[in-house]
Each structure stands twice: as C-alpha cells, then as structure tokens.
Structure 1
C-alpha cells in the first residue's frame, strides 16, 4: 500500500492540482487547489475519497485561488506554505487584479510549514522541505515510500521556476534544487506545478538550468 495521486489541471494557467490519498484509508489531501473547485470536487467524489486537508506549496494565485472557499465548504484545514510567503497570501486581491482572475480574498493558513515538518495523509507521511527561490516561503512535499515529490514551481521538466517575482532569487532557487531535491534520489518522480512529470535523475542529465556532473549508474 502506498500514496496514490491524480492530477487535475486548473485555472487558465493549467496549474497541476494534485489529489493525493492513502489507499488504505481513502483519506485524501489536495495540493495547490488553485481554482475550478467544481472539477476538484467531482474528481474526489469519483475516486471515493474523503479530503481531510488542503496543502499549499507557495502563495501564488494559480496555486491557491480555490483554497479558502474549498476549505470552508469541506470543513478542512489549510496547511502551508512556509510563513515567508505570508505576503503573497495577503496580496491575493492585488494578484487577482494583475492576472484577471476572479477576486480572491487574502487569508492565512491554519498551519504554516517548516523544514523537517511532516504532514499525515491517512497512513502516509509527507516530509516537508523549505525550498525558497521562486518564492521565499515555497515548500516541497516528499513521500519516501512512493519515491514521489510534489515540487510546485521549483522545478519543471526541462525548466525551473521563475525568479523575477518579488523576493524571488535565482541562486537561492538553484541551491534549493541541488541541495534539497537532488539528495532525494535520481529515481524520485516529481509532480511540478505545471506540465508533465519527470524524475530528478532525468533533470540532472537533461535540464539545461540545473544539469550537473551526475555519475551515470
């Protein structure tokens, strides 16, 4: 038995909302419910799951836009991101205007996440890594048993997160990728915030932004 997941792309930015669950208990969480909450609820219902929490990797609108109404409707807590992204969550009304989204009110999560924290989903455990660079409070969620990581906008197949937003920083992002993600193992699959899945090993060989001198086993 292990962690299961399905991806539902949401918002005009086609942001990957991950519905993750424990296949023993059918308890589930949503990672980055950015919008289109009717699609998310339909998927959860079709899978026969019970959502117990919403988890945020960072505070950008396309990742968090559906969070507050969904949390209220389901009666579940919002977990994450790291508190250094509080300014992004407080700036959601301005983000809404900038990107032409429906007005999204500011909110704070029920729990901020820190490096080394764990989040329980049924019998499955997600380990939290603080991975600043794209945003200062970005976090990544890793399940060691399933060798899967939910990395938000830190890393993409063939790309990396933008660092030209307020308090973004390119060297910090590269340090997060190489210092926090690579040690999770070349065989680890990651779910990015946008686009297709990949593995850390594949990116270490092919990604022009972070390829390194990885030994080929």
Structure 2
C-alpha cells in the first residue's frame, strides 16, 4: 500500500494532526497542523519524509493554528479548505484569544478546494469532498485505494461534529455524512479530527447521532 500516515494529537484540544506520505516517493503532506509544530516536525524528521504541503479540512483554531507559521518557516503551500471558511481564517487571532491558544499567524491558502477536486502527494491521489455543517467550508480527503478518509470534525467514533458555532448547521452536517461519507463504503476507515479511528460501516450501524441512516 503506497499510502502511509501517522496521526499525532496536538494542543490541549488533542486535535489529530496527520502526516500522510507516499511510500514510493517519501513525499508528505500534513493535514491540520493545529499547533505544537516542533513535535510535528520531529516526527517528520524521524519518518525521513519530505514535507511538501499543508492540507486543511477547516479553519477552526485547533486545526489551523500552526498553519501560517509552518507555511512561512518551511515555504509550504496551503491547500484548502473550501472558501466557505474564509471568515474563520479572518478571525484566527480572535479564535486564539478566545480559546487560550498562542497567537496564530494569519495566512491565505495557496489553493482553495471544491467538491470533486483532487489533491496529490507523491503518487497518492485523494478525492476532495465538500462536507459543510460543522463549518461552511469543511472538506474531507479520501484515498479510495487504501480505504482511508481524513474527515476533520464532520464525524467521530460514536459522535458527530458540533454545529453550534457560527456557520454550523445540523441538518447540513447530517446530509454531508449520509450523502458524501457513507458512499465511500462501509469498509473505509476514517481518521477524525479528535479521538480514535473507526469505520463508516460501524458508525452507520451504531452511531447514535447518525446511525442506521
């Protein structure tokens, strides 16, 4: 399997930052570098991979807080999320102050993403699905050959993303899960923004918020 990944929970929010890399080329991207950049970069060095991109599922501070600094220090392009999260990026400084995070450098994506786009690291291509509801611009990265999806805060093991923040909407989130995640297949394992991995099949059968849908 050419796709490899390592997930590192960072910040007091224990947000799952993931380093994904192509086994053939050792080229890598980091998904949602929310903070604790020295820890993340230490893992990159230990893995012996070449970090080339930053991918964002959405622009909440616990997922995007380290993005501006990492992009500047390493000269990395920022890919994602969808333009619907522009207002969250504009408010990063206020988010950091509100939730007790270190000051976050502002940034602008090198590339916005839309539903149906693809992103690629080495020889590994990921399909992009726009999955609003938690935030308006939330996206998910799906690598079908490995049956893996990096879903940010759309879905968790036994739970779903919050919808009480500005721009959140419960019905929209449920539609994103049932119409865009479930078709990826019951055997697909997803890496959520917080907590342990699970599979779409398990959540479809057992998740009390969206199960049997």
TM-score band, normalised by the shorter chain? Answer: over 0.9
Q: Distance in 2 between matches of 1:209 and 1:106?
A: 35
Q: Write out aligned runs for 1:21-170 (5 A).
A: 21-170=21-170
SS of 2:107's equivalent?
A: coil
Unaligned runs of 5+ in 1: none
Q: Distance in 1 between matches of 2:163 and 2:156?
A: 14
Q: Distance in 2 between matches of 1:120 and 1:175?
A: 26
The offset of 1:74, in angstroms, is 1.3
Unaligned runs of 5+ in 2: none
Q: Distance in 1 between matches of 2:89 and 2:83?
A: 10
The offset of 1:15, in angstroms, is 0.2
Q: Distance in 2 between matches of 1:81 and 1:115?
A: 10
What is the root-mean-square deviation of aligned Cα atoms in Å? 0.7
TM-score, reference length from structure 1: 0.97
Deviations 1:89-141 (A, max 9, x none): 01001101110111113321111000011001000001000000000000000
SS of 1:145's equivalent?
A: helix
TM-score, reference length from structure 2: 0.99
* Displaced runs of 4 or more, over 2 A: none
Q: How many residues align?
A: 213
Q: Answer whether contact 2:66 2:105 (CA < 8 A) is retained.
A: no
